[in-house]
Amino acid sequence: MTYENIAYCWDSTKDPSAQAATTRALALASGPWKDTQAEAKPPNAFQEQFDTAAHFNGVTDVTVSPAGDGMDAGTDAETTQRTVDITWTWVGDDGQKAPGGRAQDIVYLEKNAGQWEVIATENTHMRTNE
């Protein structure tokens, strides 16, 4: 779940968009998918949250937990996938809070030299908390 903890840890004082913030998590990824994620992308649906949070130097307070029964699917010696629930709220340096959102991601992992690496993620549900 470390990838999601980093990928959803957005800082309006340093990141212009969610994609820019997600780039920090790519150190845990590998393969062609990693290369496509590093390419510049237009701002996503959460740009409005970034813009609002920038007014109070907001950062996200993120919670990541296993989805459903917490069981991994497709587990074998070299690959697995995990479904995780992510929630976040924005917190400013002055303690001000703003609505965040919820997401559910499927994280695809592959063992490489004894270490698990993210080879893809799939967002299956995302919404803002208005």
- As a whole number, mean pLDDT of residues 15-20 equals 77
Domains and CATH numbers, the chain: 2-128 (3.10.450)
The C-alpha atoms of residue 96 and residue 98 are separated, in whole angstroms, by 7
Q: Quickly count: other Cβ atoms within 10 Å of residue 19's Cβ.
A: 19
The C-alpha atoms of residue 116 and residue 121 are separated, in whole angstroms, by 14
Torsions phi, psi for 12 (to 5 deg): -65, -15
For 62-101, write each residue's pLDDT tens digit.
999 999 765 566 656 788 899 999 999 999 999 999 999 9
Q: What is the pLDDT of residue 71?
A: 54
For 18-52, write each residue's pLDDT tens digit.
777 778 888 888 878 788 776 656 566 677 888 88
DSSP code for 16: S
